[in-house]
Amino acid sequence: MTKTPVEESAPYDNFLGQTTVPVEPEETSLAEFLGMEDDNENEREKLWVGMPEFIQKDNPPFKTIYLHFRNQQDFDEFVAKYKSVDDEQTISKKTKSMWYPHLDKDENSLKRWFEE
């Protein structure tokens, strides 16, 4: 049984052994990216006059500790001891991080700004 060679449907470029130099993208303004004229830049700035300024505070944890367990028994022992300290957070093999004491992420979720 002889193999029939497959014919290419279109020519292709062979880049084996060639190196390319990455091309830096041209910097464009947001107005250019969105297809807006530069004159609209002033219009957008006028819309933002009087808006409240918001600065996000960097709020890293005070201390991070990585725990390593030699075996499942050591892990189970730690989980049992931790449950006696904090029963709000559960620890499993999939747990990647946690806060002590428990950090309630929804604590401020119901606070809203209302203006009358």
- Going by C-beta distance under 8 Å and a sequence separation of 6 or more, which residues neighbour residue 69? 75, 78
Query: For residue 52, is it within any domain?
Result: no
The answer as to whether 76 is a domain residue is yes
Largest CA distance in the chain: 86
Asked if residue 84 is part of any domain, the answer here is yes
The answer to the question of residue 71 being in a domain is yes
Residue 79 lies in a domain: yes
Residue located via tokens 């892990």: 75
3-class DSSP state for residue 105?
coil
In a domain, 56, yes or no: no
pLDDT tens per residue, range 33-65: 666 665 666 777 777 777 788 788 888 888 988
Q: What is the pLDDT of residues 65-98, one digit of tens each?
A: 888 899 999 999 998 888 888 777 788 888 888 8
- Domain residue limits at 68: 63-88
Q: Quote the pTM value.
A: 0.40
Q: How far apart are CA 7 and CA 46, in angstroms?
A: 62
Backbone φ and ψ for 46, nearest 5 degrees, come out as -65, -35
* Domain count across the chain: 1
Q: Would you say residue 68 lies in a domain? A: yes
The DSSP 8-state label assigned to residue 32 in this structure reads: H
Whether residue 73 lies inside any domain: the answer is yes
